[in-house]
Amino acid sequence: MSLKSPEQYEESLRKMNLKVYLMGELVQCVVDHPIIRPSMNSVKMTYALAMDPAYEALMTATSHLTGREINRFCHLHQNAADLVKKVKMQRLLGQKTGACFQRCVGMDAINAVDSTTFEMDRKLGTQYHERFTAFLRMMQDEDLTVDGAMTDPKGDRGQSPGKQADPDLFVRVVEKNKDGIIVRGAKAHQTGAVNSHWILVMPTVTMTQEDSDFALSFAAPADAPGIFYIYGRQSCDTRRLEGGDIDVGNREFGGHEALMVFENLFVPWENVFMCGEYEFSGTLVERFAGYHRQSYGGCKVGVGDVLIGAAALAADYNGANKASHVKDKLIEMMHLNETLYACGIACSAEGAGTASGTYLIDLLLANVCKQNVTRFPYEIARLAEDIAGGLMVTMPSERDLKHPEIGKYVDKYFRGVPSVPTEHRCRILRLIENITLGTAAVGYRTESMHGAGSPQAQRIMISRQGNLEHKKELARHLAGITSK
């Protein structure tokens, strides 16, 4: 089997023994928990669209290992066209879910680990790439959702991993034996962790020799003994427990983050892809970050499409759609959103092959893409809130709207255009609230700032990749300056 159906994906999660804590309680069934379920629905969409003939060209690819059709989320990019299709696929899924669909981190991780392990083996004589290829083959054959785990808690940012007061604040090897390694530590902000089959761990920063115990990459089943999860809170998340569907905004889909804890996790050598090779840690971090910064030129744009459409509907329902300033705000939202998309496409089209044959995006343009993502979605959200009006955050509840006595007053006094039911107006305002302030804001607004690295991380990479000396030389030449 190379393609799972959405039903098979859900059933595969039911067979797992994930240890997840949410709001202080151990979750009995991750799949059916009302707070978690919407995020699983988003991942299911990546399986559903892959089996839809209308989207097959975007959602699937041909495995370079087996020649079989596979889900694109399990694919290593073989050319620039693959990189472009990735961004288009992410925009499509953002449009279909209005939320984070979570498989991007695993896709970005496998592409980064592939080229890095190939180059590591070639220089050091290790055998990591062969191990990784065996893992990738399994991932493709079984259509697995893999969580790419990079971000450590980090502790004191002024100290390196090896100088932390608590060494567990960076994932590390605590023991090696003939069978494998024992790992301790944690990964924070883990997107889609409890909807994943496997975890692919990577180092979070460039390591030095004294940090070699932390220069670590490996794969483990998401429900392996020694791994447990503490589910992250999101704004308005308990609305999912109320039983209605208006106040949640996005009725079906969502995203999630979790703290992933490793308590003496055993990893067999066959699943270890870096163990102490600190000189390649920076390469792996840089490449994963580049791929993931490219991703934001697709997924955030798709959710932005939904938000722009919701803002336009809010203007229609408010009777303000003909106002020139509203039209101009919608134009600005579209301009900003398409600029993000253009950056995602550009860094893809300018991609080039690595030594392993896997294509890497243009790192400079990928970082420019993500730098814009740290800004533009905030402005798009601000304009959406401006168009929506204050009712978006002062509106009574769904229970009030449907109350046998006071419902008629809510319906009467919160109606906008007479031809539009008050419930429709409430629904679209709650959707805007969800994307800009509620549960979806994690995968749109705030993640736009901190996902794939902070804004300063992108600026550092832009400085490294921008080739300022070359630009100086261009200016000297045209100015007739023949010496430095």
Whether 296 sits among the annotated catalytic residues: the reply is yes
Kindly report the number of other CB atoms within 10 A of residue 106's CB atom.
25
Element (H, E) at 293: helix 281-318
Q: 46, 116, 145, 191: which one is catalytic?
A: 191
Q: 47, 74, 75, 100: which one is catalytic?
A: 100
Whether 292 sits among the annotated catalytic residues: the reply is yes
Environment class of residue 227 by beta-carbon count within 10 Å: exposed (0-12), middle (13-18) or buried (19+)?
A: buried
Q: 9, 296, 317, 359: which one is catalytic?
A: 296
Whether 104 sits among the annotated catalytic residues: the reply is yes
Q: From 240, 262, 259, 241, select the one nearest 249 (Cα to Cα).
A: 240
Kindly report the number of other CB atoms within 10 A of residue 13's CB atom.
21
Cα→Cα distances 76→38, 59, 61, 195, 398, Å: 28, 13, 9, 22, 46
DSSP sequence for 354-382: -TTS-EE--HHHHHHHHHHHTTHHHHHHH
Q: 10, 257, 385, 433: which one is catalytic?
A: 257
Q: 74, 275, 299, 347: which one is catalytic?
A: 299
Q: 291, 292, 347, 369: which one is catalytic?
A: 292
Q: 104, 343, 347, 369: which one is catalytic?
A: 104
- Paired with 146 in beta bridges are 198
Q: How far apart are CA 17 and CA 196, in angstroms?
A: 12
Contact criterion met (CB below 8 Å) for 116 and 283? yes
Q: 10, 398, 433, 447: which one is catalytic?
A: 447
Whether 299 sits among the annotated catalytic residues: the reply is yes
Whether 64 sits among the annotated catalytic residues: the reply is no
Q: How far apart are CA 358 and CA 353, in angstroms?
A: 6
> Which residues are known to be catalytic?
100, 104, 191, 257, 292, 296, 299, 447
